[in-house]
Amino acid sequence: MSRLHLPPIPLAVESPEVVRSRSKGRTRIVGGLLLAVLGLICVRGAQLCIAPSDRTIREANVRRWGQVTLQARRGQVLDRNGRQLATSVDTPNIIVDPQMVPPDAIQPLSEALSTVLGRPEDELRSEIGRKGSRYVRLAQRVHPRTVVDVERVRKSTNLPKPALYVERASRRYYPEETLLSHVLGFISADGHGRAGIEFSLDEYLSGGTILFQRRHDLRGLAVDGPLGDTARQRAAGMTVHTTIDRRIQRITERALEGVLLRSDPVSASAVVVDVETGDILALANVPTFNPNAPGSDPAPRRNHAVQDAIEPGSVFKPFTAAAAVEEGLVTGASPIDCEGGTWYLGRSRIRDDHPHGMVTVSDVVKYSSNIGAAKLALQVGAEGFIDYMHAFGFGERTGIALPGERRGTVRSADTIRPIELATTSYGQGVTSTVLQLAMATAALANEGVRMKPRLVTRVEDAHGVPEYVQGPEEVVRVISPETAREVTEMMVTVTEPGGTATRARVPGFRVAGKTGTAEKAENGRYGAGRIGSFIGFLPADDPVLAVVVSVDEPRKGSRYGGIVAAPAFAEIGEEALRYLGVEPDPELLDEVTESSEEEVERVDNEPIRLAWAREGWEIPDLGGRPLREVVAGLGPSGIQLDIRGSGHVVGQDPPAGAVVAPGQPLLVTLK
């Protein structure tokens, strides 16, 4: 079947006039609509410009403005001569904006920065090419020289400043490192003080928080210049001026380092006080730490001089004598019967390590008689004696600008028993800090006036305007000038031949002092540990400095204050007076200051005491003991002594703490 082919139907062709007429109509309609829309837009725009809504304003501000929060520079800590002890240093950070770095610039930029920053190229390439981020920190706390090198790299790669820039930051820096670390303290990662002055004065040092408003363009980039350094300076932390003398602090710490080497104690502390003003010229502890890198171990960071309350021992006796003299009960020449070395108070027995009969009150201090001190306290009476101890500052905080200060303990006059009053008189059953002892010693030197310890003289803002000022402050007159001078003369005899502290003598000066060797309480009972101390001031005739040295549990050599602490006192006193320009007495320069150990220890040692431990005697540490004390202390026990050499004990076998049954041998080596 064939397909039928029909001819095409011709279409009618419109004339140009018809087409042109229809297109003009459509153009008018579309144009009219566009004009209407544009008119609406203009009206709405005018409305938004003239009377925008709150929501529109908020949205515009969010898009237009950005906020940057910065912490102002932390304030400085200076010594009394204006030397920096703690400051803040600029530590620039290198920042990149990945979205501002063209893809073809990532590789060359990574290569160049790898050399400058000392980082692997692949790590930098990954961070620079990170998408979706506008802020990537490539390096922290870089050297200023590195900043110059980074700027050179930016220019060589033709990057705009917002793409690679330097962020200004700061970190805390202690120029003297370990020097004065326990007083200065350190700061945490968030910039707040964690110990010492950094903690107690954090509100002054920390400075303000600065909130910057920065304008952004359509791409979100800041169009303002660098964040204002002027604003940072205005909000900077305040400057703290201390009473510390950096030179005397260094002298004191060097003396304690010598104690650490010679005696291997658990810790040692020293405080140096300006007698007239109460200024703390030095406060040191060992072991120490570096506040630039304080570490996680809290033990070296403990400020033992302020935060440890210890039994002072025999260094308490000058204060007992001062109370009795001030009450008019005795003078330095008054006789006092020491009962031949043993005295019973009720059922309790008080012993002198080195027996004496009738002596003077001055000799009670010189020979460190427990019996004499106890009788003086009983004469004064509980209420009066405790009042004097509180007046000297024991049992209350000194108020120094350091955290964690201990109060110490002094028994109440209402509840104290006679035997407790007696033991308190020679520093047993009472506790104090090294700082309290220093301020009480300074009161004796300052003609009986106790000053408040001053560590901070003033705090100034960024313009030098004082925010806080502390002048010398008298707390109380404890004793009269006459009593103070009489007790001073008693303390001078301690450092003269026959006294307990001949090693504390300083050529060219008369020294007033007192030794102490206190038993250390462990788990509520007295153990084998000892705390050797020395308190004193010099020159005795016109005191300038009061110095206290305390050595906690020396584990090598002698344990007694006259040997472990007195030499450190002499070293501090001699060098500090020379530095301060105090002239020595030429007549005293030729005096012999060295004495035999036997003379030093003769009146300071406690008798050897043995404790029975079921199967035998527990042997104490005999180190530094003279032969006669070893024989007197161990002879009645039945232990077979094997004596090698002469002089003082330098070794023993079995060692201290071992149990030796009667009849067994004990090797004692002397030299």
Every domain of the chain and the residues it spans: 65-90+178-242, 92-168, 246-293+300-601, 611-670
Catalytic residue among 314, 368, 533, 558: 314
The CATH architecture of the domain made up of 246-293+300-601 is 3-Layer(aba) Sandwich (3.40)
Comparison of pLDDT for 520 and 256, the residue scoring more: 256
- Residue 61 has a pLDDT of 65
The identity of residue 40, as a single letter, is: L
- pLDDT mean over 466-486: 96
618 pLDDT band, cuts 50/70/90, is confident
Do the Cβ atoms of 134 and 220 come closer than 8 Å?
yes
* Per-residue pLDDT reduced to its tens digit, 182-236: 999 999 877 889 999 999 999 999 876 665 565 655 555 555 545 555 555 556 7
What pTM was estimated for this model as a whole? Answer: 0.76
Strands of the sheet with 84-90, listed across from one edge: 170-173, 84-90, 77-78, 239-242, 456-460, 466-469
619 pLDDT band, cuts 50/70/90, is confident
- Residue 601 has a pLDDT of 41
The CATH architecture of the domain made up of 65-90+178-242 is Alpha-Beta Complex (3.90)
Fold: same for 65-90+178-242 and 611-670: no
First to last CA, the chain: 145
Residue 608 burial (CB count, 10 A): 18
Q: Is the pLDDT of residue 343 over 60?
A: yes
Active site residue 314: yes
* Per-residue pLDDT reduced to its tens digit, 294-339: 888 888 999 999 999 999 999 999 999 999 999 999 999 999 998 8
* Per-residue pLDDT reduced to its tens digit, 140-168: 878 778 888 888 888 888 888 778 888 77
- Residue 222 has a pLDDT of 54
DSSP three-state, residue 659: strand
82 pLDDT band, cuts 50/70/90, is very high
DSSP three-state, residue 238: coil
- pLDDT mean over 137-142: 83
92-168 topology per CATH: Alpha-Beta Plaits (3.30.70)
By CB atoms closer than 10 A (0-12, 13-18, 19+), residue 248 is buried
Q: Does the domain formed by 611-670 have CATH 3.40.720.10? A: no
- Residue 595 has a pLDDT of 42
Query: Which own/partner pairs from 19-26 qualify as long-range (CB within 8 Å, at least 24 positions apart)?
Result: none
- pLDDT mean over 62-76: 68
- Residue 154 has a pLDDT of 87
602 pLDDT band, cuts 50/70/90, is very low
C-alpha 376/C-alpha 343 separation (Å) is 14
- Residue 201 has a pLDDT of 95
Which residue in 525, 533, 670, 550 sits closest to 609, CA to CA?
Answer: 525
Q: Which pair of tokens denotes residue 74?
A: 């932390």
Q: At what angle do helices 370-380 and 317-326 cross, to 10 degrees?
A: 40
Contacts for 279 with CB less than 8 Å, ≥ 6 apart = 80, 243, 273, 454, 472
Average pLDDT, the chain: 86
* Per-residue pLDDT reduced to its tens digit, 15-66: 777 777 778 878 888 888 888 888 888 887 787 777 777 777 776 666 666 5
